[in-house]
Amino acid sequence: MWTWLTSLKTESIPLSPAMSVSEATIKALKQLGLTEYETQAYIALVSGGEMGASDVSTKSGVPYSRIYDILGKLEEKQFIQTKRGRPTTYVAKAPTEVVRLIKLDWEERIDQSTKQVVDGLQPLFEKEIQVSTRDVFVMHGRAAILAKAIELLDSAREEVLISLPEFDLATEDIDAVVERVLGVRGHVMVLTSSVPESFRSLIPDGFEVRTRERVFGAGIVVDRLQTLIMLAGGDEFLGIYSSHAIFAAMAGAYFESLWRDSVPL
């Protein structure tokens, strides 16, 4: 539907004084994929209501020789509706509806593109990792570590072991990690020092959650194959990631030793 986003035109004619809108609004419409003429025709319909092609041309300043083509493009992009009849008239869709449709379409396109990238390149990346001697990586910075945590959770197929010193849902990045945890379909075991009452009702059936007085550091073990350990000291954040099965086995054994001494939620 939105292949037109990559082929913007550059017609340039002034807006009618009767259709005056801010330059910021005009720029935003163009960023959403409209050409100059399409922008003016849409604004004319928004401000003037239902009209025939001739009236749209007059109000917007779009040449009559171009108006049917422009209106057709606007209908294709779902900015307007065409009412067939004698004469045919055109009506703008509400800006709120237009924006919602664009967001839904972009989200679908992004989902499709990211899936294609992952499906097409991740096997090549993992193959390279397997033949590489670099089985352990060190990451610096909270954002990089949390991004890796989300990647691991998205890759989980059978089991996830998670240890957290405490649930801190005050920031968007932590929210993103928790959202991924709740979306894991495999067996999930969570070990933490405490769980807020407001969060307990959100825990899916089948999750095992236990608490203990102290949990040292944070870590994730995915499918007994990948491990991420997160350490923090003041404002410094250090992440240790490993794709080696031995590292995962050691981390899993340590997790299980803590798990046995913990209290079911």
Q: Which fold has domain 3-100?
A: Arc Repressor Mutant, subunit A (1.10.10)
**pLDDT reported for residue 128:** 59
Cβ-Cβ contacts under 8 Å for 230 (sequence gap 6 or more): 145, 149, 217, 218, 219, 237, 238, 239
Q: Nearest to residue 221, comparing CAs of 168, 165, 173, 149? A: 149
- How do the domains of the chain map onto residue ranges? 3-100, 130-264
With a cut of 70, which residues of the chain have pLDDT below it?
1-19, 126-134, 166-176, 198
d(CA 208, CA 205): 8
**pLDDT reported for residue 197:** 74
**pLDDT reported for residue 119:** 83
Cβ-Cβ contacts under 8 Å for 258 (sequence gap 6 or more): 163, 191, 212, 215
**pLDDT reported for residue 67:** 94
CATH number of 130-264: 3.30.870.10
